[in-house]
Amino acid sequence: MARTLRVPLAALTAGERVLPEPEARYVTRVHRLGAGDVFVAFDPEERLEADVELVRVGRDVVGRLGEPRAAPRVARTPVTLLQALGKSDKPERVLRDATALGVEAVVFVETARSVVHLADRAEGRRRRWRAIAVDAARQSGRGDVPEVTGPLSLPEALAVAEGASGRIFLSPDATRTFQEVLDGSPWDAHVALFVGPEGGFAADEVSAAKAAGFTPASFGELVLRTETAAVAALGAIVARSFARVR
């Protein structure tokens, strides 16, 4: 059975509405929907969704929205990912996967060994990150998006995690495995996960993280790429969350 098309759309209210040009183009040109076809609109900010029937496709694309309802699939795993900036599209890949895995917040961090430092490009990158998170929510069926902030300095990022009862940073030099550290956290813990850059954390950053209550953890003998480590760790956290619910 084919999945119903999902389209982000702000300010959902029941009744007929002219779709904004980007959304109109997406449903009629990309997916070739016509009058009488149905899709689901979702507002990730309000965590709402509504069924939409296309009633007119022409110069204007008009949809009839049903009564908005609470989105059934939203973040239920209290995880904040602190991700050191990587090169190329690595931050975007991590953000897509983190959104699909239900992370509540993603904080990008500039560390000593970060290859990329955004400086005056930060605002443009933040807009792109937001768009990527919304698209990842659309693809995964999620009805909300994580809060995406940064890039922050290391002290700023560590301060964000102060409210988390479980704080873990990944380090290949750690004496305890990630699973051991995770198992030692309460089942209902808000986990703050800190993943370093390609070159790893500098010694003073490790000291600062430990002073802020973070426990180092490794994947045993494996040394993973930063984007792979983030997804592997988040997957373990989500799996534990599912086990608790069951």
Helices 90-100 and 226-245, axial angle in degrees (round to 10):
10
pLDDT on residue 62: 97
Give the residue extent of every domain in the chain: 6-70, 79-245
CB 97 within 8 A of CB 230: yes
Query: What CATH code would you report for 6-70?
Result: 2.40.240.20
pTM across the whole model: 0.87
Distance CA 181, CA 168 (A): 8
Averages of pLDDT over each 10 residues, the chain, 246 residues: 82 96 95 96 96 95 97 86 85 93 93 66 82 94 92 92 88 88 77 87 91 90 83 87 56
Q: Write down the CATH superfamily of domain 79-245.
A: SPOUT methyltransferase, trefoil knot domain (3.40.1280.10)
